[in-house]
Amino acid sequence: MRRFIDSVRAGTSLTYNEMREATNTMFSEDINADDIANFLTALSIKGETTEEIAALVEVLKDNATQIPVTSPSVFDNCGTGGDGSQSFNISTTSSFVLAGAGLKVAKHGNRSISSRTGSADVLEELGIALDFQPREVNELLKQTNIAFLFAPHVHPKMKRIQIIRKSLGKPTIFNIIGPLTNPVSLSSQMVGVYRQDKLMDLAAVLHRIGRKRAIVLTGAGGMDEASLVGDNHLVLMDEGECIPFTLNAQEVGLSNAPLEAIRGGDAKENAEILKSVLRGEPSAYLDTVLLNAGIGLFAAGVSSTIQDGVHQARKSIQSGRALSVMESVVAYSQNRSHLEVNA
């Protein structure tokens, strides 16, 4: 590890193979925690390249729980977190809308790190299990169009790295790669990141790791989700071609609103907000989900435009399909718990 630290400190970027070797070394129990911390810090100071990010992601996926699925097209709409907006659980709420619109969604997520309530926290409050086994993930995708992957459950080797990350107390490469490490082989993806300077890099990485189509975005106000505040910055990756563009909610028939209008709270409050959106109750929460789900449907190639995606998202909610998806996953979790108790 020392040679990699020295190289990066000297301002030299690692090749793809060197970064794979460095990442595999990080997972070794024999490596000193200080060396891992120094390596991550040096990378952050130098600035991570596309090759370094791609290599790290591939090794993390190699070391994750393997989840083969039978669905040919699977989508995820996970954000990096870290935007400090204290918003409600936008991508989690949107995932039910996407599933209600017919997408197969393998939603990767974690507990709260930088916000009050992470996706896993609100799912737990709704009564959804966090420890689905690979067979159950496949069953859920078939039965309900959606399955949830709790990051610590599918990345068991990350436990030591997480402790080191927390001890550093500052962002590292791991703060931007979470959504890319979904162990399911995704065909398309929507990734929100709070760093606008990383949009093109992450779009290139998504192509490198096998996505056919994807959107990477930074929301207005510096969010890791599309927001109603103003211009959102996006990059569409389509078969390797990366196309940057901006989008204002007004362009797709939605009203602008300040970040304060979509503030969340604890898990209980956010679960209530989520359910109110799925019931179609008018609010900035609903419009934010319509915007993000609309972008997601466009990213997956289901809709020809984002405006059409917003229309399909609205139909998913108004028809009751989005709420039905959520209720089906809750019922699956409860039945599963009942079977375990009586086994």
Asked if 232 and 89 touch (Cβ cutoff 8 Å), the reply is no
164 is annotated as contributing to ligand binding: no
201 is annotated as contributing to ligand binding: no
114 is annotated as contributing to ligand binding: yes
337 is annotated as contributing to ligand binding: no
125 is annotated as contributing to ligand binding: no
89 is annotated as contributing to ligand binding: yes
Report the interhelical angle of 50-62 vs 16-26 (nearest 10°): 40
Q: H-type helices in the chain, by residue range?
A: 2-9, 16-26, 33-46, 50-62, 90-100, 119-126, 134-144, 151-154, 159-168, 174-177, 199-208, 267-278, 284-299, 306-318, 321-341
82 is annotated as contributing to ligand binding: yes
Here the tokens at position 196 are 């606008």
Q: Please, what's the b/e burial string for 187-223 (b: 16 or more CB within 10 A of its CB; e: otherwise)?
A: bbbbbbbbbeebbebbbbbbbbbebbbbbbbbbbbbb
67 is annotated as contributing to ligand binding: no
119 is annotated as contributing to ligand binding: yes
153 is annotated as contributing to ligand binding: no
90 is annotated as contributing to ligand binding: yes
110 is annotated as contributing to ligand binding: yes
265 is annotated as contributing to ligand binding: no
185 is annotated as contributing to ligand binding: no
311 is annotated as contributing to ligand binding: no
102 is annotated as contributing to ligand binding: no
294 is annotated as contributing to ligand binding: no
213 is annotated as contributing to ligand binding: no
91 is annotated as contributing to ligand binding: yes
187 is annotated as contributing to ligand binding: no
308 is annotated as contributing to ligand binding: no
Q: Where do we find the tokens 């954000």? A: 79
Please tell me the distance from the alpha carbon of residue 5 to that of residue 279, in angstroms, as a whole number.
Answer: 52
As annotated, the binding site for Mg(2+) includes 91, 224-225
As annotated, the binding site for anthranilate includes 79, 110, 165
As annotated, the binding site for 5-phospho-alpha-D-ribose 1-diphosphate includes 79, 82-83, 87, 89-92, 107-115, 119
As annotated, the binding site includes 79, 82-83, 87, 89-92, 107-115, 119, 165, 224-225
